[in-house]
């Protein structure tokens, strides 16, 4: 889910990045149709290592599923079921369970791979936006209150959502907590605050998951007050927005390199931009390319088809 961040686009330099290669002869569409129905407005995306794609709808809570070799996605979790009338972030854990952040329903939903509801966990008054999963917990950002929520994962059990970091536990009270990712070892998370919309109010936080602390990451060369985040080793990607200099807005993916301790980051590359009508939100990796969700959240008249496309000029 998006809010505008008024930060100028920064000049970035080239970087050679090693990424996975697709299988020989693998042909994949460059555009995926999430839905041809009106008013869907897709928001979150997850792509598994085997190529299964999940995309959420923030308008009605539907979750769509498809494969990276097939152009059309299909409804997987119908809109409104289990009280899931909104859906934002989506992630899978190592067991293949599907976790969906229910935005202003204030609920986190956990599903088995076949779509069976395993748990519905409530967070009163929350707007649950994005989530990160470690071996022992799921962490969820709350854009309404600035709380970082946590639910324990113990075997097959999904614990209750509890406030894990309060707004006062951050160096500054978050204006709009959004994207979040965790390191592979489960030691750190990085959470993006898109701020209040005022220039310079956006921040990236380094969250120590063992010490239960949050500190500001010193970001140079651009901004990482992002919507969707993607972390690959020391490479952190974030979907950002910025003024176009003509009273409008553009969207792009910034790529930053994190220091080994995660306390500093340098933005080194930016994708080609997308317009306000497209309003990309979140990103996922598919082998040698990045995919982003064209939400149309800020379009004057959102219209089908609603799509996922390749991020241009960045992999």
Residues of the chain with pLDDT under 70: 1-25
Q: What is the model's pLDDT at position 1?
A: 66
Retrieve residue 260's tokens: 């080994």
Q: Is 204 helix (H, G, I), strand (E, B) or coil?
A: strand
Q: How many helices (H) and strands (E) does the chain have?
A: 0, 27
- Domain map of the chain by residue range? 31-300
**Distance in angstroms (rounded) separating the CA atoms of residues 4 and 202:** 10
Q: What is the model's pLDDT at position 198?
A: 77
Contacts of 310 (CB under 8 A, 6+ apart): 30, 31, 289, 290, 291, 292
Just give the CATH number of 31-300: 2.130.10.10
Q: What is the model's pLDDT at position 14?
A: 36
Over the chain, what is the mean pLDDT?
93
* 207 closest CA partner among 142, 148, 128: 148
Beta-bridge partner residues of 275? 250
């Amino acid at each position: 889910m998006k809010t505008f961040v008024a930060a100028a686009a920064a000049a970035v330099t080239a970087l050679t990045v090693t990424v996975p290669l697709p299988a020989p002869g693998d042909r994949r569409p460059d555009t995926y149709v999430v839905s041809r129905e009106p008013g869907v407005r897709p928001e979150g995306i997850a792509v598994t290592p085997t190529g299964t794609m999940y995309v959420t709808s923030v308008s009605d809570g539907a979750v769509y599923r498809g494969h990276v070799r097939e152009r059309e996605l299909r409804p997987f979790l119908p809109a409104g079921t289990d009280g899931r009338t909104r859906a934002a972030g989506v992630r899978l854990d190592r067991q293949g369970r599907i976790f969906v952040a229910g935005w202003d329903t204030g609920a986190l939903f956990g599903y088995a791979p076949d779509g069976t509801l395993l748990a519905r966990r409530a967070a009163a008054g929350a707007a649950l936006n994005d989530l990160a999963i470690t071996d022992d917990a799921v962490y969820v950002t709350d854009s309404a209150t600035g709380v970082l929520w946590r639910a324990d994962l113990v075997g097959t059990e999904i614990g209750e959502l509890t406030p894990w970091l309060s707004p006062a536990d951050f160096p500054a009270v978050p204006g709009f907590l959004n994207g979040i990712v965790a390191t592979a070892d489960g030691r750190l998370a990085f959470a993006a605050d898109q701020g209040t919309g005022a220039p310079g109010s956006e921040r990236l936080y380094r969250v120590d998951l063992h010490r239960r602390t949050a500190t500001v990451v010193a970001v140079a060369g651009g901004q990482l007050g992002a919507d969707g985040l993607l972390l690959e080793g020391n490479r952190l990607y974030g979907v950002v927005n910025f003024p176009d200099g003509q009273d409008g807005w553009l969207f792009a993916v910034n790529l930053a390199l994190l220091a080994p301790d995660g306390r500093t980051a340098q933005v080194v590359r930016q994708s080609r931009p997308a317009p306000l009508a497209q309003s990309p939100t979140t990103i996922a990796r598919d082998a040698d390319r990045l995919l982003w969700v064209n939400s149309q959240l800020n379009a004057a008249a959102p219209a089908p088809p609603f799509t996922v496309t390749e991020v241009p000029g960045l992999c």
